[in-house]
């Protein structure tokens, strides 16, 4: 078997949909250089050995996972607590 396969081929052999594969890549679940690479022509390829390592040990998923972003309000806490009427309450 090849070390690197296209997303389409990996979808066929793994059972993951192409959308699921692209989402795992986008969200950093499968980090670049470990589970997928970008070929010199710009095409994304799945590293089958890297995927197997992720399945067996979960190592790839922890390498570059980012903490979820938190929303930051531009209004000072004291103004928000007082119910300031100069601007609407922020949407959360």
| pLDDT, tens only, 78-90 | 555 555 566 777 7
Confirm whether 92 is domain-assigned: no
| Position 91 in a domain | no
Q: What is the mean pLDDT of residues 19-34?
A: 94
DSSP 89: P
Q: 31 — phi, psi (to 5°)?
A: -75, 150
CA dihedral 9, 34, 30, 5 (to 10 degrees): 0
Residue 26 forms part of a structural domain: yes
**Predicted local confidence at residue 61, as pLDDT:** 44
SS3 (DSSP) at 32: strand
Q: How many domains does the chain have?
A: 1
Count other C-beta atoms under 10 Å from residue 10's C-beta: 22
Q: Report whether pLDDT(17) > 90.
A: yes
Residue 12 is part of which domain span?
Answer: 1-86
Measure the CA–CA gap between 30 and 34, rounded to whole angstroms: 7
Residue 41: CATH number of its domain: 1.10.1660
């Amino acid at each position: 078997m090849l070390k690197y396969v296209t997303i389409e081929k990996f979808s066929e052999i793994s059972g993951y949909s192409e959308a699921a594969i692209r989402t795992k890549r986008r969200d950093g679940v499968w980090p670049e250089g470990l589970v997928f690479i970008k070929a010199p022509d710009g095409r994304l390829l799945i590293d089958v050995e890297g995927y197997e390592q992720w399945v067996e040990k979960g190592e790839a998923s922890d390498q570059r996972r980012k903490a979820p972003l938190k929303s930051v309000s531009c209004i000072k806490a004291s103004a928000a607590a007082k119910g300031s009427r100069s601007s609407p309450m922020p949407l959360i």
